[in-house]
Structure 1
């Protein structure tokens, strides 16, 4: 594969990995505005780790979720998936840096480098899938509560952290697909090369067993 295409896949995977690191600590995974007069208007926003509130004067307070076991199941699952995405992306980035053809790391064994690049592509794809599942599951619960007429709690809307996560997932999957296509499987030669004599390719009929024996042993071999 063209080394330029491999570099493009590496860049896409790297940008997706960076965006995962941006989306995970982002505080605006879901937001809600409490309307009232100028003094009491406030904005409530949450992510996977904490809940914050900001009033009209600019004062904001945040509190971390007190207990992991007290959280909803989808929040715990989203945490695990996002952390797994970062770990997978880290290994994928290291593998891509070694596996691309323009890299000097790993020597000049391009078959092995192609396999490493393909493995890095699979890791990037897994990173994108983990991110996509986490943010989509989180967004599904937001929309389900928002449109539920019987829900008595605060109705949240989608925050910017989810959109960053979606962008990260798409870029990681695209970069991983490009790198996976660069995987070259080693093939061994099953048949010998055409007969050559003094640099000239022999294009005539195949030699018989008698001629092969004569050329091998010479005339002195026979009595």
Structure 2
């Protein structure tokens, strides 16, 4: 019973982490830069420049946002590396979740106990490798 509880809890935590990384792929505001608003003038004009993995945007002091998608992705230095590492990590994490689900003791799919243990071990290895890819993807963007 204790082994099943640990497996289910580990599966839920790792799948939740994978879901959070998947959500960050679509998030805005990966890089934010404030332009203007300095110098002590009475008219304060502040603009924000921000970008994510898919587009660059500019928001002025009237809250009007102008965005443009990256026209040529290989000209942006950090984007290709970050995208590639995050996508590889997410793919490995997906296969890890499937292998761990099939390899858990409480599922009746996957065969004998020895086969299920091998699937669970390979799923754990895929989770570690996918986590490493995702971590390196974040470090490339900084």
TM-score by length of 1: 0.57
SS of 1:101's equivalent?
A: coil
CA distance in 2, matches of 1:14, 1:69: 31
- Whose Rg is larger? 1
Q: What corresponds to 2:63 in structure 1?
A: 58
CA deviation digits over 1:171-193, x for unaligned, max 9? xxxxxxxxxxxxxxxxxxxxxxx
Kindly indicate whether structure 1 or structure 2 has the higher relative contact order, using CA contacts under 8 Å at least 6 residues apart.
1
Q: What corresponds to 1:100 in structure 2?
A: 104
Over the aligned positions, Cα root-mean-square deviation in angstroms equals 1.5
Q: What corresponds to 1:27 in structure 2?
A: 28
1:35 deviates by 2.9
* Contact 1:20–1:85 (Cα < 8 Å) also in 2: no
CA distance in 2, matches of 1:29, 1:97: 32
Q: What corresponds to 1:68 in structure 2?
A: 73
Q: What corresponds to 2:49 in structure 1?
A: 44
CA distance in 2, matches of 1:71, 1:31: 16
* Contact 1:33–1:41 (Cα < 8 Å) also in 2: yes
Number of residue pairs matched? 136
SS of 1:69's equivalent?
A: helix
* Contact 1:85–1:131 (Cα < 8 Å) also in 2: yes
Moved over 4 A (4+): none
* Contact 1:98–1:106 (Cα < 8 Å) also in 2: yes
CA distance in 2, matches of 1:89, 1:119: 11
Q: What corresponds to 1:84 in structure 2?
A: 88
CA deviation digits over 1:158-214, x for unaligned, max 9? xxxxxxxxxxxxxxxxxxxxxxxxxxxxxxxxxxxxxxxxxxxxxxxxxxxxxxxxx
Unaligned 5+ runs, structure 1: 140-223
1:69 deviates by 2.4
